[in-house]
Amino acid sequence: DTGVSQDPRHKITKRGQNVTFRCDPISEHNRLYWYRQTLGQGPEFLTYFQNEAQLEKSRLLSDRFSAERPKGSFSTLEIQRTEQGDSAMYLCASSQGGTANTGELFFGEGSRLTVL
């Protein structure tokens, strides 16, 4: 399967702990996106990368959140000092840029975070 994969699928942590999620995009996609989805809501944009460059961050992404894509392939999203309000599904998506851009995002199955 060459789709977007995310790990772990589910993380339970205690308030104040740090967590890290990993996303492996579709290999030929140079763009990678992180979204957050809370219960009963649609996904909300957090940040996106083109290759290794983080080009935009939403104001939803507080300074406790950091995302990286060091070699332009996989990406990590780290949340420091987690709070109960961080409980959500974190979605990763990828797409092609440039002339191959169809406007479609390909989503992974998400990483569900529960902060106790």
Binding region for another protein (CB under 8 A): 3-4, 31, 33, 40-45, 48, 55-56, 91, 93, 95, 97, 101, 103-110
Q: For residue 59, give the 3-state DSSP assignment.
A: coil
Taking the complex as a whole, how short is the minimal distance between the CB of residue 105 and another protein, in angstroms? 6
For 93, the enclosing helix (H) or strand (E) is: strand 88-95
Q: How far is the CB of 17 from another protein (least distance, A)?
A: 26
Q: Which is nearer to another protein, 42 or 70 (CB)?
A: 42
Nearer to another protein, 7 or 56 (CB): 56
